[in-house]
């Protein structure tokens, strides 16, 4: 426009800005009320959408008020064009960030709501967020009149060099996608690698897998190394598993009584101890005539890997007490030592135990 700026123009521009600010305030208040209702629903996706709209709608209202104020002012065509471009870029920037936030939130909600999907793994969330931001950046360039065709061509030519420079990173990225897609490992699984690392999988991101040990320490494993390692997953195909406890009784024991008493203790532990499997059938298998005992294996059912320590603890205590009450003897290992004067049978000493000073085997 060529006319001069008047007081009426300023008043109209102020009204437009005030209307935009008022609309932003009212929309934020309304969306806060909707967020309270969304939290009471079972689906968590509406929480993500409403929370994102609380950041988009007010800024869009302010941008609309600024655009209306610029439209009523007697600005030149060039200035008006630049103002429109700034407002468009501003609005695209806000919408892009909000879209990245809401889409990443929905992806996280979907993966967490389905067993066998990525769970809490952030790799899909990060990939989704990067793609949305990249699309928004290209839209901004196109809005500013910058042709994106040469940029895409340059990215294609330089992609090979980038791939060579980041081959380890890309290898870890694709290894993480392969691990999640094959469903061999998911967050929450308890795994043990052939190299000795073990624990609960906390997260699988674009570069590494985080494992929390039972000592509450975190072990960070590159995805490429995890994909190539021999691994035992104690959560799949089922979370419930069995553990073996080795027991031995003396040769003069009544094996029928031993089996009956042991089965009663197993049933008691499976019923009373948290983490045990109540419907687990007692399994006792005799297998060895040892030097001083008859050995057998007791098979216990546990709900998940870390429960075995508590269940073994309670089982051994109760079995020892019950054997003592029933008169069932658990013999100590012995060994025979041949001497010139004769033969002496002494209890088997543990490694590291030493004879008292001044004593000998003959004593």
pLDDT tens over the chain, length 363 residues:
456 666 766 777 778 778 878 887 887 788 777 777 777 776 666 666 777 677 677 777 777 777 777 776 776 677 767 777 777 777 777 778 777 777 777 777 766 655 444 444 566 677 778 888 888 887 877 777 777 677 667 666 566 565 565 667 777 777 877 887 777 888 888 999 988 889 999 888 878 889 999 888 999 998 888 888 888 998 888 888 889 999 999 999 999 999 999 999 999 999 999 888 888 888 999 999 988 899 999 999 998 888 999 999 999 999 999 999 999 998 876 665 555 555 555 555 444 444 444 444 444
Q: Is 329 exposed, middle or buried (0-12, 13-18, 19+ CB in 10 A)?
A: middle
Q: At what angle do helices 77-113 and 45-72 cross, to 10 degrees?
A: 180
Tell me, what's the pLDDT at 185? Answer: 85
Model pTM?
A: 0.54
Q: How many CA atoms lie within 13 A of 100 on its CB side?
A: 17
pLDDT of residue 50: 73
Q: Cα–Cα distance between 219 and 221 in angstroms, integer?
A: 6
Residues 299 and 247: beta-carbon distance below 8 Å = no
């Amino acid at each position: 426009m060529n006319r001069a700026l008047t007081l009426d123009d300023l008043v109209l521009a102020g009204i437009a800005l005030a209307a935009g600010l008022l609309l932003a305030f009212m929309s934020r208040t309304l969306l806060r009320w909707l967020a309270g209702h969304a939290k009471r629903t079972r689906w968590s996706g509406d929480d993500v959408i409403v929370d994102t709209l609380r950041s988009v709608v007010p800024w869009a209202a302010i941008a609309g008020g600024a655009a209306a104020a610029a439209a009523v002012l007697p600005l030149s065509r060039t200035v008006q064009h630049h103002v429109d471009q700034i407002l468009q870029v501003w609005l695209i920037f806000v919408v892009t960030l909000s879209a990245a936030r809401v889409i990443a939130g929905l992806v996280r909600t979907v993966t967490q709501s389905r067993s066998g999907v990525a769970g809490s793994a952030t790799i899909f969330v990060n990939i989704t967020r990067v793609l949305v931001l990249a699309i928004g950046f290209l839209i901004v360039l196109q809005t500013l009149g910058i042709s994106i065709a040469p940029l895409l061509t340059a990215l294609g030519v330089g992609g090979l060099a980038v791939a060579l420079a980041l081959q380890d990173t890309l290898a870890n990225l694709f290894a993480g996608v392969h691990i999640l897609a094959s469903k061999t490992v998911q967050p929450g699984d308890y795994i043990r690698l052939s190299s000795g690392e073990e624990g609960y999988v906390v997260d699988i991101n674009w570069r590494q897998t985080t494992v929390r040990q039972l000592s509450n320490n975190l072990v960070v494993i590159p995805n490429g190394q995890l994909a190539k390692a021999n691994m035992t997953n104690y959560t799949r195909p089922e979370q419930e598993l069995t553990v073996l406890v080795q027991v031995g009784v003396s040769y003069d024991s009544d094996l029928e009584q031993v089996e009956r008493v042991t089965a009663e203790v197993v049933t008691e532990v499976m019923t009373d101890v948290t983490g045990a499997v109540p419907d687990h059938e007692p399994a006792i298998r005799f297998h060895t005539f040892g030097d001083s005992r008859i050995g057998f294996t007791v098979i216990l059912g546990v709900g998940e890997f870390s429960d075995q320590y508590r269940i073994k603890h309670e089982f051994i205590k109760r079995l020892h007490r019950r054997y003592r009450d029933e008169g069932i003897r658990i013999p100590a290992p012995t060994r025979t030592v041949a001497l010139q004067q004769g033969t002496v049978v002494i209890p088997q000493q543990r490694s590291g135990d030493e004879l008292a000073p001044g004593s000998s085997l003959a004593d």
